């Protein structure tokens, strides 16, 4: 291997040297909870798999390499990663999240962290003046997503990092939608990046996992302590599956993006479709920002998520229930295309919050099937 392998190369080799014991090209799944010690306290760095496991360690090394980060800490789910990050702030602190945010993240701060004394504010993060007004002395953490879910709004990550830091807060980006192949928030000023590895990183809709990547040694040490102390760790087999998924992340993302671009263009031409939300559309409000920050692959790529508005909730529900190739289901980022109704499915926890998503909205996770089949499927569902 070269000193600084490129993304596609690191995805296949980082943290994955051939097994020294057998020469196996693909690392073993260390499906074990404990490790035999040669004498009391004399071991080879592994004692118990909540604390550390070689398969999980390999995954963390690979994901850190892809992010060009010093550290990666893996968790049992994306929510476990976010909840553990939330444990790094103190009683009485405030967290600021966007008003267009993953429903589970909203629920965590609204229904769980609140009772532990952690307060939160939501704000439209496309409005930097409003963000500035919301930030205060007590703000300890600003957690954002870009593109946002489900409206694919693009946030100015560089500007938000500056605002958060000026207020003395940590700036964390949930990069689940973009993946490190398209966007590197650490380079744009983020202190940490969080992933639901359930989505594109795993890429095959067959596991649930999360991770945090970061450069900050002190915060990494704290997260390692919390990983072991709170114990929201992924198992060895799931770690191995994500390692396997990462190997094809770049080629999958290129196809997700190409298919999504075609579908967004198709939807735009449909009389039954209102606004199409896709950062790759040139007249999409966030397009210029996306072009400047979703460019880690060497040229801008706009992701595999598309959402669109229909004329009524009935119509949105009918479309969701009429596709044959697009499967009706929550989640995203797998090779198979998914369709869903955010207001009643992924974002149902926002009901009554004042930041509900419109009931006329349909969200697509565009897979890597042949784009003509996907377009034909949407055509008949809209027809």
Ligand X SMILES: *Cc1c(COP(=O)(O)O)cnc(C)c1O
Closest CA to 366 of 236, 205, 258: 258
The interaxial angle of helices 217-230 and 78-86, nearest 10 deg, is 110
Distance CA 355, CA 148 (A): 13
Quote the tokens at residue 31: 């499906």
Q: State yes or no: residue 210 binds ligand X (CB under 6 A).
A: yes
From 93, 100, 156, 174, the catalytic residue:
174
**Sole binder of ligand X in the list 27, 54, 78, 98 (CB under 6 A):** 78
- Output the smallest distance, CB 149 to ligand X, in A: 5
293: left (phi over 0), alpha (psi -120 to 50) or beta: alpha
**Sole binder of ligand X in the list 49, 146, 179, 196 (CB under 6 A):** 196
**Sole binder of ligand X in the list 104, 274, 292, 358 (CB under 6 A):** 104
Q: State yes or no: residue 200 binds ligand X (CB under 6 A).
A: no
Helix H or strand E segment including 140: strand 139-145
Active site residue 102: yes
**Sole binder of ligand X in the list 16, 77, 122, 259 (CB under 6 A):** 77
Supply angle C-alpha 7, 11, 12, rounded to 5.
Answer: 125
Would you say 77 or 337 has its CB closer to ligand X? 77
Quote the tokens at residue 114: 């609140």
Phi and psi dihedrals of 339, rounded to 5?
-130, 150
Q: State yes or no: residue 255 binds ligand X (CB under 6 A).
A: no
- Output the smallest distance, CB 41 to ligand X, in A: 36
Distance CA 206, CA 184 (A): 25
From 56, 199, 252, 363, the catalytic residue:
199
CA distances from 96 to 93, 109, 341 (A): 10, 10, 26
Closest CA to 77 of 209, 220, 257, 242: 209
Q: Which stretch binds ligand X (CB under 6 A): 72-80, 118-126, 180-188, 259-267?
A: 72-80
Active site residue 174: yes
**Sheet of 327-328, strand order:** 273-277, 305-310, 361-365, 338-340, 327-328
Active site residue 17: no
Would you say 49 or 176 has its CB closer to ligand X? 176
**Sole binder of ligand X in the list 122, 146, 149, 213 (CB under 6 A):** 149
Please tell me the number of Cα atoms within 13 Å of 362 on its side-chain side.
33
Q: Which stretch binds ligand X (CB under 6 A): 196-204, 244-252, 297-305, 372-380?
A: 196-204
- Output the smallest distance, CB 225 to ligand X, in A: 21
Q: State yes or no: residue 239 binds ligand X (CB under 6 A).
A: no
Q: Which stretch binds ligand X (CB under 6 A): 71-79, 159-167, 246-254, 370-378?
A: 71-79
List residues binding ligand X (CB under 6 A).
Answer: 77-79, 102, 104-105, 145, 149, 174, 176-177, 196, 198-199, 208, 210
Q: Which residues are catalytic?
A: 50, 102, 174, 199
């Amino acid at each position: 291997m070269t000193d600084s392998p490129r993304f596609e190369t690191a995805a296949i080799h980082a943290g994955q040297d051939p097994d020294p014991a057998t020469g196996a090209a693909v690392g073993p799944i260390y499906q074990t909870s404990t490790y035999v010690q040669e004498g009391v306290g004399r071991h080879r760095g592994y004692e118990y798999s909540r604390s550390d496991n070689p398969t999980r360690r390999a995954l963390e090394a690979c994901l850190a390499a892809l992010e060009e980060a010093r550290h990666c800490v893996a968790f049992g789910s994306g929510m476990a990663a976010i909840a553990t990050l939330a444990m790094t702030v103190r009683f009485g602190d405030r967290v600021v999240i966007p008003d267009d945010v993953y429903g589970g993240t909203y629920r965590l701060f609204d229904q769980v962290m609140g009772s532990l004394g952690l307060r939160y504010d939501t704000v439209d993060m496309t409005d930097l003046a409003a963000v500035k007004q919301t930030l205060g002395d007590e703000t300890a953490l600003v957690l954002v997503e870009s593109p946002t879910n489900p409206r694919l709004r693009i946030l100015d990550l560089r500007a938000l990092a500056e605002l958060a830091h000026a207020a003395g807060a940590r700036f964390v980006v949930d990069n689940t939608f973009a993946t490190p192949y398209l966007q590197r928030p650490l380079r744009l000023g983020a202190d940490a990046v969080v992933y639901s590895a359930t989505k594109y990183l795993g890429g095959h809709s067959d596991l649930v996992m999360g991770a945090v990547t970061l450069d900050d040694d002190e915060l990494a040490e704290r997260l390692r302590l919390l990983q072991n102390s709170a114990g929201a760790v992924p198992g060895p087999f799931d770690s191995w599956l994500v390692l396997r998924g990462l190997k094809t992340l770049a080629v999958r993302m290129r196809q997700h993006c190409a298919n999504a671009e075609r579908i967004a263009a198709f939807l735009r031409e449909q009389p039954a479709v209102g606004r199409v939300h896709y950062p790759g559309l040139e007249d999409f409000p966030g397009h210029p920002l996306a072009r400047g920050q979703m460019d880690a692959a060497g040229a801008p790529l706009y992701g595999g998520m598309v959402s669109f508005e229909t004329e009524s909730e009935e119509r949105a529900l009918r479309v969701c229930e009429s596709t044959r190739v697009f499967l009706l289901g929550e989640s995203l980022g797998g090779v198979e295309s998914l369709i869903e109704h955010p207001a009643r499915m992924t974002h149902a926890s926002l009901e009554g919050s004042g930041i509900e998503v419109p009931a006329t909205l349909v969200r697509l996770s565009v897979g890597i099937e042949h784009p003509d089949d996907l377009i034909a499927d949407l055509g008949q569902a809209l027809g």
